[in-house]
A = this chain, B = another copy of it.
Amino acid sequence: MAVYTQVSAEVLAAFLTRYDVGELVSAKGIAEGVENSNFLVETTRDRFILTLYEKRVAAADLPFFMALLDHLDAKGLPVPPAIKDRDGIEIQELEGRPACLIRFMPGVSLSHPTPAQALAAGSAMGEMHRAVADFAPTRENSMGVDTWRPLLDRCGRSLDQIAPGLYDDLAAALDHVEARWPRDTLDRVAIHADLFPDNVLMLGDTVTSLIDFYFACTDIRVYDLAVMHGAWAFDGAGRNYDAAVGEALIRGYERHFPLSAEERGLFATLASGACIRFALSRAWDWLNTPPDALVMRKDPLAYMRRLGHYHPALAMRVA
C-alpha cells in the first residue's frame, strides 16, 4: 500500500526505451496492490502500470503468474498482461527488483458491490476457470490447506494477545476443516485465490478487469469461489452476511460451472478453510507489525466471525 522503491524519471525514461511504447509523459507512484511498488506510467502512446516486485512476491513465481495472464488475455478475458519488450521479454529487472510493465485496465474497485455486480463478478470467475482448462503450468498454493497447521504453530499462543482464546478457537476450527477437506475428489485448476472486491475492476455492472494474480496457484476450483464468497458477501468486520450478494456470486459462477452435489455439500468446509487461511495470515501480520507502523493492520477476528457463519458449530467464543 505504498511505494517501497523509488524510480527516478531519468531511470524510468531509459527503462521504457527497451519497449516499443513511446516516450515517458507522466509517472505517479500509486498506493495499491500487495506489497509491491506500483507506478501509473503514461507515454506518448498509452498508459501502463509499472510494478516492481518487493519481497512478498518470489521472483521464481513470476513466470507462472505472467504465463497465466497471457493465457487468459489470449482467450479474451479482461486481465492485465505484462507488455513484452523489443526482445519479447516480460520480466525485467529495475532498481535491483524484478519488474514488469503491465497493461493499464480501466475500472474501479467497489467497496459495497451490489447483487448485480456480484453476479457479474461470479460469472467472471467462472469464465476464468473455463479458460484455464488447457493451461498446463502449475504452482503449489503457498497459502494452501497444508500450510495452515504450520502457520498456526508459528503464531502459537501469541494469538491470544489478539484475543484471549484465539489459539484454541483456531486449532479447533482447523481440526474440523482438515478432517473434512476434500483431497482428491474435486476439480483442481489454476485459481486466483484472492479475488476480493479490491481485485475486480468494474464500470457499472460490468467487470473490466481481474487484477493482482500474485496468489494464483493450482488448487480446488470451488475453493476459489469460496474465498470470493467470504470476501464479497460480508461487511468488513464479518458481522453481517449479505445473502443477496452471496447468492448472486454463486448464481453468476454457475452460469459456467453449476456446482455438483458434492461441491455444494463441501462449500461450507471450503469457505471455512478460506476463513482460517485469512484469519491466520492476518494474525501473523498483526503479530509482526508494530502498532505504530503506518500500514493498516487487517483484523483477524473479521474472519473468525465469518467462520461462525459458515459453521455455526465453530462460532468463535472470542469473536
Q: How far is the CA of A40 from the CA of B106 in the complex (A)?
A: 12
Of B10, B26, B107, B295, the contact of A111 (CB 8 Å cutoff): B10
User: Can you list, as one digit per residue, whether each of A66-98 has a CB less than 8 Å from chain B (1) or not (0)?
Assistant: 000000000000000000000000000000000
**Chain-B contact segment, one of A1-9, A219-227, A255-263, A269-277:** A1-9
Contact in complex: A28, B2 (CB < 8 Å): no
A12 to B110, CA, bound (A): 11
State which residues 91-121 of A face B: CB under 8 Å: 106-112
In the docked arrangement, what's the CA distance between A108 and B44, Å?
A: 13
Nearest opposing residue in chain B for A114, CB measure:
B10
Contact A106 B42 (CB under 8 A): yes
Q: Does A244 contact B (CB under 8 A)?
A: no
Give the interface size class of chain A.
20 to 34
A14 within 8 A of B: no
Verify if A165 is at the interface (C-beta below 8 Å from B). Answer: no
Residues of B within 8 A of A60 (CB): none
Flag if A107 contacts B294 (CB, 8 Å).
no
Check A30–B29 contact: CB distance below 8 A.
yes
Using CB atoms, name the residue of chain B closest to A28: B30
Contact with B along A294-306 (1 / 0, CB 8 A): 1100000000000
- Chain A contact residues, CB within 8 Å of chain B: 1-3, 8-10, 12-13, 24-32, 40, 42, 106-112, 201, 203, 290, 292-295
Can you list 21 residue pairs at the A/B interface with Cβ under 8 Å? A1-B2, A1-B3, A3-B31, A8-B111, A8-B112, A9-B108, A9-B110, A10-B112, A25-B106, A25-B107, A26-B106, A26-B201, A28-B28, A29-B30, A29-B31, A30-B30, A30-B40, A31-B31, A290-B292, A292-B293, A293-B294
Known: A8-B110, A10-B110, A28-B40. 15 other contacts (CB 8 A): A1-B2, A8-B111, A10-B112, A13-B108, A26-B107, A27-B108, A28-B30, A29-B30, A29-B31, A29-B32, A31-B31, A292-B293, A293-B294, A294-B294, A294-B295
